[in-house]
Structure 1
Amino acid sequence: MQKKKKATQAKNKRSSDDVREKGSPEAIKVADTETIKPGNGKLQNGGAWADFMHDGWRVFKIMAEFVTGFEMMAEVGPAATIFGSARVEAGDAYYKLAEEMAELLVKNGLGVITGGGPGIMEAANKGAKKAGGASIGFNIFLPHEQESNRYIDRDKLITFNYFFVRKVMFVKYSQAFIALPGGYGTLDELSEAITLIQTKKITKFPVILIGKKYWKGFMKWIRETMMEEYHYIGENDLEYLYLVDTPMEAMKVIK
């Protein structure tokens, strides 16, 4: 009996060692899990097993961001989102256009939502603040810290860890999307909006591109290449996309 017990223990030990060698959670070193730090918002960190060990708890962090956003925006009325490059300087013509657009939105009863950072975002928050309207900022934690601009109402500022939560907030509470010239982030937000409208996941609202000189090539590619040459979209998929040059033209579309 004693021999049988010892044999079973030895077998269990070998099985345990085999599992560890195959890379089970038990085999994760402290150094692997130390790379997962609260607040960095990364979905992959420290190897597959390290991420696996933390994903369950990450769900609560994601839920908390959704709840924070929903609760704050429940107290804000109708709004429009303005987005564009963070690299635009205060003296730039597009900075001035964003500021004017925000002022016009406020004067027509809408709050202004931005990504909370510098450049076009700052200009839009500045215009909203100047006109006495709701100036909302959905900032994001980045490796190179993006500081929130000073024109956001302090009770209407959230800094998110996750881009996908932030984008839900943009589209859920917007009556219109207004895109000024920008880079990858602008294209990401723009694509998110038009995809959700196309697939009827959200109520259709106008997506307005301000700056014909900047956006005309993009619109030409969508129409001539994506639609006419390859037939990847239909004519109806362009119904909610507008190309304008001035805030006044944009406002006419929104009305």
Structure 2
Amino acid sequence: MTDTTKVPARVFPRAKQDAETAAHGVHTPQTTHPAYRLAFQDMDFLLREDLRPVRFQLELLKPELILDEARIASTFVFYGSARIPEPDSARALLDAAPADGPARKIAERLFEKSKYYDVARELARMVSNFPVDEAGMRHFVVCSGGGPSIMEAANRGAADVGADSIALNIVLPHEQAPNPYVTPGLSLQFHYFALRKMHFLLRARALAAFPGGFGTFDELFELLTLIQTGKIKPVPILLYGREFWERVVNFPALVEEGVISEKDLSLFSYCETAEEGWACVRRHYAEHDPTI
């Protein structure tokens, strides 16, 4: 004889059900007072100063669950300026610039760097074609800060080949929105820079840093420090635009001053083309996985 009795999967209502019940409850002076709200529905409570540790947890957990559910095992992270236009726009800015003076020099330098928009886009196309593994997990999924310029180029490159891409956006005082090439379900917004930077690196298995400003420096040097101090295993770090990086950062001088060691200069590789960058990544992982 077979026992066909079914054991219920759960006996407690789900949080969503309780929340809906609470929203349609009776209205009395007691039930309408903020103290009566369910804690997870009380925004004034969740935004208290002393709830910051809880908000940290939530901001760490939500993206983790979304990326897990999207079966993303690893990412290829793109850092770079939000101010470098694509080549056509850079040419228009240069044509509109004064004949001489500081504005002209800036326009010329932006035009020189605008080629990296196309390089980032091509590199994103290349890495986005990496196959899923036997477990159906995706690797080298393009991940950017979600903004314009180099970040847009990365997401755009993935979209060119019909691949999903990630954006880790941040709330800033001035209005902004994710660039239109980001996969909507993988467009994530952060309040805390620290949690955003953590998610940039948790799945990162390669990183390309294009010419950029404070934000690019902040994120790049944090990764270099983590590898230098042994907090994480080395990953390929591609610095695009050797002329730019050697002009704005004197890495050999840091060795000469004794504040970093000679071997620290091997933590990154200078690159100019998408093919060169992808070859660096393949070489890095060759001994671990010859299929890359």
Q: 1:96 maps to what in 2?
A: 118
SS in 1 for 2:176: coil
1:84 aligns with 2:80: yes
Please list the CA deviations of residues 126-176 of structure 1 after superposition, one character each: whole Å capped at 9, or x if unmatched.
001112223100000000122111111111111100111000001111111
Report the CA distance between 1:189 and its aligned residue: 0.7
Partner residue of 1:240?
A: 267
**What letter corresponds to residue 222 of structure 1 in structure 2?**
F
- Specify the alignment match of 1:9 in structure 2: none
Matching residue of 1:222: 251
Give every structure 1 segment of 4 or more consecutive aligned residues whose post-TM-superposition deviation is greater than 6 Å: none
| Cα distance in 2 between the residues matched to 1:85 and 1:215 | 13
User: Partners of 1:204 and 1:55 in 2: how far apart?
Assistant: 37
Structure 2 Cα separation of the partners of residues 132 and 232 of structure 1: 45
- What is the CA–CA distance in structure 1 between the aligned matches of 2:64 and 2:210, rounded to whole Å? 26
For residues 1-255 of structure 1, the aligned pairs below 5 Å read 54-74=48-68, 75-91=71-87, 92-109=114-131, 110-218=140-248, 221-223=250-252, 225-228=253-256, 230-255=257-282
Map of 2:289 onto structure 1:
none
Write the distance in 1 (CA, Å) between the matches of 2:174 and 2:255.
38
Give 1:60 deviation, angstroms: 1.2
Conservation of the 8 A alpha-carbon contact between 1:80 and 1:177:
yes
Q: Distance in 1 between matches of 2:239 and 2:171?
A: 26
Whether the aligned pair in 2 keeps the contact of 1:139 and 1:160 (CA below 8 Å) is: yes
- Give yes or no for contact 1:94–1:120 (8 Å, CA) kept in 2: yes
Q: Distance in 2 between matches of 1:194 and 1:134?
A: 27
Q: Distance in 2 between matches of 1:88 and 1:174?
A: 24
Q: Unaligned stretches of 5+ in structure 1?
A: 1-37, 39-52
Q: 1:218 Cα shift?
A: 4.1
Identity over aligned pairs, percent: 35
Paired AA for residue 146 in structure 2: G
> RMSD value over aligned CA atoms?
1.8
- Structure 2 gaps of 5+ residues are 1-42, 88-113, 132-139, 283-292
Q: Aligned to 2:162, what secondary structure does the other structure show? A: coil
* Residues 73, 173 of structure 1: 8 Å contact kept: no
Secondary structure, aligned partner of 1:82: strand
Instruction: For 1:67 and 1:131, locate their aligned partners in 2 and report how far apart those are by CA, in whole Å.
Output: 30
Please give the secondary structure, in 2, of the residue aligned with 1:253: helix
Alignment partners' CA distance in 1, 2:186 and 2:218: 23
Amino acid in structure 1 at the alignment position of 2:190: F
- How many equivalent residue pairs? 202
| SS of structure 1 residue aligned to 2:270 | strand
Specify the code of the residue in structure 2 equivalent to 1:87: R
- SS of the aligned residue for 2:204 comes to coil
Q: Secondary structure at the match of 2:238?
A: strand
Look up the SS of the partner of 1:177 in the other structure: strand
Query: In structure 2, what residue type is equivalent to 1:102?
Result: A
SS in 2 for 1:239: helix
